[in-house]
Chains A and B, each alone.
Chain A
Amino acid sequence: MDQLIAVCIDGVIYSSWLFTSAIGLTLIYGVMKILNITHGSFYALGAYMAASVTGALLARGMEPMLSYVVLLASAAAVALIVAPLLERGLLRFMYTKDEVVIMLITYACFLMLEDAIKLIWGVDPYFVAEPYGLLDSFEIGSLTYPNYNLILIGIAVASGLGLVYVLNKTRVGRLLLTVIHDPEISRAMGINVDRFYLVTFSFGAFLASMAGAFTAPTLSVVPAMGVDIIVLSFAVVVIGGLGSLQGAAVGAVIVGLVRSISIHFAPELELFVIYFVMALVLAVRPRGLFSVAEARKI
């Protein structure tokens, strides 16, 4: 019984982390039709910024509980500085190009940002372990979980529900849905589509860097850490359906639970199981579980 509970808790924690990491990717794709490979760079930048700034402030005697605020502020700083530069400075000139071309451009940016990270932070690992162990822990059976995991779950739930609320219950959200449905008509009706693109890209980047910032206390922040997250996030949004928030949530839960079951009962299958599920879903629903049928424009 303890093991079944552990499977569920581990699955939920991993799903939360995955969802927070993937939601920005699906948001940007849903609004802008950009499969944003720099998502991995924002994740890594968030982690580096959080680890270096939080570490420096803690070393100068900052109250440890404030480190959570610093993690969040670091993610916001990355999104506010780098995302507008990238969107206004490069991507906005590419919106008329094919989706594949834009994806390749973001891939090129990803490679450049990887080198920029090495230029700024070097190749030595960064650590900021304090926030992970600061909040005590809870026990279930023989297992101990740091309460920090509850923050990760909270961030995932707040991000998901917050986005659903904004999209469906606010004026800005309804305008954004209009932009998603048809940017040209939206522009003709006086909606500032460029501003929506800028804000969406920056917010998507913020979600990625926030995932990185809050993951930083649990690992060593090292070069190339943004590579794997892109692959995993892509698996999640593909399972759920590109551009679908509900899809990303369900995709993250499926991947998290399946991986957790595998680790507890058949660890030798762990490598294979996530991509097996992805292949299975795509075989049945090639556009993902929550893909919406699109009307063909003539």
Chain B
Amino acid sequence: MKTRLLTLVASLSLAWTAATSHADENAPIKVGVVTFLSGPAAGPFGVPARNAAEITAELLNAGKAPAPYAQKGFGGAPLQLVLVDEAGSTTTQVTEFRNLVQRANVDVVIGYISSGNCLAIAPVAEELKKLTVFFDCGTPRIFEDGSYKYVFRTSPHATMDSVGAALYAKDVKPNAKKFSGINQNYAWGQDSWSDFEGSMKQLIPAAQVGTSQMPKLFAGQYGAEISALLASGSDIVHTSFWDGDLEAFILQAGPRGLFKKSTVILTTGETAMYKLAAQIPDGVIIGARGPFGVFAPNNELNKWFSSNFTDRYNVPPNYAAYQMTQSFLGVKTAWEKAQAANGGKRPTPEQVIAAFEGITYESPGGKVQMSLGKGHQAVMETAYGMTKKVGGKMTVEKVKRYPAEAVNPPEGIKSADWIKNGFKK
């Protein structure tokens, strides 16, 4: 009797263990999504990125993504999003990050638009040992000045944008004598201008710097800066402005005639090109921080993402939305690779990290190679084009694509050194 009872208990225990084990495999994966939900960056960046996160998670959970992303969720487990507003100081963001990890117990954090926030969050992610994927922020300093195990960035960094802009400037204005810049006075703006200035000196050595304006983030009023740019007589004006600052700059520079007197490069201009189509004249150089939006390839993944996003939100996705979805697909690729290597069981964070390092995967923007920062930093090809209104509708013409190796430094070499040495490998 005693033996039969023991056998029954053991059988029940085994059955319970198997059941809970199976339940664990399919337990939701909590994904912390951090993006601007308020403040000047919410409308053009944060909200499209949040929308992309929501629709991507929904489509992945429903198994409605094309190959190779057809499996539901991540490895069959559904995704559960925890949204956090990125607005506020970096101190606030560090606190919110700790809350996400220690209170909300998320499995992975995908987020951050501001370079300042990324620089602050990276060491905290390392301290808390939490897989964290930056989806948009641009400063190259994250992996050039640091080395992280738990941190990845699935979008290319600012060097690609700046070198690509300089290559395009050389293509359209090879005899430029003077160039100037207006960039925000923090990590993103400073790095963007530094890389652009360095690249221009290599590509058009005769060109001199007219003026470099560095107003503070969200300053809003650029009258005097625009006067300085006009007075400099520059052939080319570079700006990496984004969010409301980019829109204010376009609104103020247009009536002042800056777009007519200089060839203006808006490295993040894709986010404003439709909203401010009436204010942006033909011939302005537009970038999208990679092959996104109007520069995205005509592949199945892009059709899937773009059509679903447009149907749901009645506007086409901008590059922030593309980058968010690209991050989700990167984590999914790594997760499922790690899960397959783990015999189909849910992988540990360390297994996901090992699978993530150095992978190459496809996204709506094209091929993503995690080839810098010891496999933690993505590179992609990039594209620039010039605005051209056709039938009153904003389009881009003279699109030029630059391969990843032409606009990104090789592994182990800092961007500034690579540019300074004439882009030599």
Binding site for B on A (CB under 8 A): 2-3, 6-7, 9-11, 13-14, 17, 118, 123-125, 127, 129, 132-133, 137, 141-146, 148-149, 215, 217-220, 222-225, 228, 259-260, 263-264, 267-268, 270-271
Contacts and interface: CB of A to CB of B under 8 A. Distances in A.
A118 B251 contact: no
B214 A268 contact: yes
Give the interface residue-count category, chain B: 35 or more
Contacts of B46: 123
15 contacts: A7-B224, A11-B224, A13-B223, A123-B38, A123-B47, A125-B43, A137-B256, A142-B230, A142-B231, A218-B248, A219-B244, A224-B218, A225-B40, A259-B224, A267-B213
A17 B230 CA distance: 21
A121 B212 CA distance: 35
B39 A223 contact: yes
Interface stretch (B271-279, B397-405, B411-419): B271-279
Contact of A10 (B224, B257, B275): B224
Given A132-B252, A142-B233, 14 more contacts: A6-B228, A10-B223, A10-B224, A14-B223, A118-B38, A123-B42, A123-B46, A125-B44, A127-B275, A215-B221, A220-B251, A223-B42, A263-B228, A270-B213
Contacts of A6: 227-228, 231
A264 B227 contact: yes
Interface of B: 37-40, 42-44, 46-47, 87, 185, 211-216, 218-221, 223-225, 227-228, 230-231, 233, 243-244, 247-248, 251-252, 254-257, 261, 275-276, 278-279
B83 to A, nearest CB: 13
A127 B251 contact: yes
A141 B87 CA distance: 42
Contact of B224 (A124, A217, A222, A263): A263
A264 B231 contact: yes
A2 B228 CA distance: 11
A129 B278 contact: yes
A132 B251 contact: yes
A228 B219 contact: yes
Given A127-B276, A228-B219, A260-B224, A222 B231 contact: no
Contacts of A13: 223
A2 B233 CA distance: 12
Contact of B87 (A124, A133, A224, A267): A224
Contacts of A219: 220-221, 244, 247-248, 251-252
